[in-house]
A = this chain, B = another copy of it.
Amino acid sequence: MKKYSCGELLEMFESHLAQTDTPAEPELLYNPIVYSMSNGGKRLRPTLLLAAYNIFADDMSKALPAATAIEMFHNFTLLHDDIMDNAAVRRGRPSVFAKWGANVAILSGDAMLIVAYSHLQKCAKEVLPQIFDLFNTMALQVCEGQQYDMDFESRQKVSVVDYMNMIELKTSALLAGAVSIGAVLGGASEEDCRKLNRFALELGLAFQLQDDLLDSYGDESELGKKIGGDILEGKKTFLMMQAMSHADEPKREILRSTYKDATLTAEEKIARVKAVYDALDIRRITEQQISTRFERAISILDSLSVGRESVAEMRTFALSLIGRTK
């Protein structure tokens, strides 16, 4: 069986996407979809789907429509999230919301979700009911995660467990859905499908915690953005929830109120919160959690019935996702 590298899978996906027709009219319905999809991005989810498929089968044409559906769904969520977050910029360009306004963003997002389903519909008939089920479950979980995330903004108490549940829905469910759909399309056994699903859930958690960590402790030149955005927004991240659970009341008050303190500059706010993080060893706690999740993911991957050499490319992908080389 031919095994493709992630780079090759990505290239296949891009070339498939470039050949995918979107209707031309009405322009304000379809142009934002083409604009969103051409927005670059890392194409993590379709690559993951294709890599999962390629563990079990190598006729990639059979997995490309589902990969397109997954990437469209992901971009649909970003499109609507940008309205809800009032976000003007997406991947260095104006968001659909900023470029065309809320009404166009709402309706073209709706159409994008339906177009995603119409790509999914191209899956082989024999597996369509199962794929459709996986997709619906995943899509609803992503919405649930987004709602919990919005709920947390106005909620006083959010525990670490609440936070982990939220990111499992908002981030991991989509990775797990992509991998499961790829595995089912490839003809994996039920047990291998279940294992791959758990692999992707753990990987997704590690990925999100890594994202949280880098926002406070990353390298600005590597990230291509300023450090400390989450702290300045007073966002409830893993670091913040961990710190809140370990802090005494004076430190808690610093964590709760610093971002709102108009007498401080941005740099001072970031330094003040990070001083609390450092005192509580939050960076190390987070790194440990990432390692634990990541290693769990890899050991599940290695336990698949197909043997370790068959999952080599998936392992490489997982490593690169977490920014590791081994």
A151 beta carbon closer than 8 Å to chain B: yes
Query: Do A107 and B26 touch across chains, with their CB atoms under 8 A apart?
Result: no
If the complex has contacts A29-B147, A84-B106, are A114 and B140 also in contact, measured as CB distance less than 8 A? yes
CB <8 Å contact, B118 and A136: yes
Find A107's partner among B84, B107, B113, B117 (CB 8 Å cutoff).
B84
Contact with B along A226-253 (1 / 0, CB 8 A): 0000000000000000000000000000
Known contacts: A84-B103, A107-B84. The answer to whether A29 contacts B143 by CB under 8 A is yes
Q: How many copies does the complex hold?
A: 2
Residues in B with CB closer than 8 Å to A139 are: 114, 117
The residues of B that contact A25 with a CB separation of less than 8 Å are: 144
Nearest opposing residue in chain B for A103, CB measure: B84
Task: Bin the interface of chain A by size.
Answer: 35 or more
- The 10 closest A-B CB pairs, nearest first, are A29-B147, A26-B147, A118-B136, A111-B143, A84-B103, A114-B139, A121-B132, A125-B129, A114-B140, A117-B136
Q: Min CB distance, A74 to chain B, in Å?
A: 13
Chain A residues within CB distance 8 Å of chain B: 23, 25-26, 28-29, 80, 83-84, 102-103, 106-107, 109-111, 113-115, 117-118, 121, 125, 128-129, 132-133, 136-137, 139-140, 143-144, 146-148, 150-151
CA distance A151 to B147 in the complex (A): 31
Instruction: Contacts A132-B121, A140-B118, A151-B28 given; indicate if A146 touches B80 (C-beta within 8 A).
Output: no
> In whole Å, how far is A195's beta carbon from the nearest beta carbon of chain B?
24
List of B residues within 8 angstroms of A140 by Cβ: 111, 114-115, 118
How far is B28's CA from A146's CA once the two chains are assembled, in angstroms?
A: 11
Q: How far is the CA of A121 from the CA of B130 in the complex (A)?
A: 9
- Cross-chain contact of A150 among B84, B103, B129 (Cβ < 8 A): B103
Chain B residues whose CB sits within 8 angstroms of the CB of A111 once the complex forms: 140, 143-144
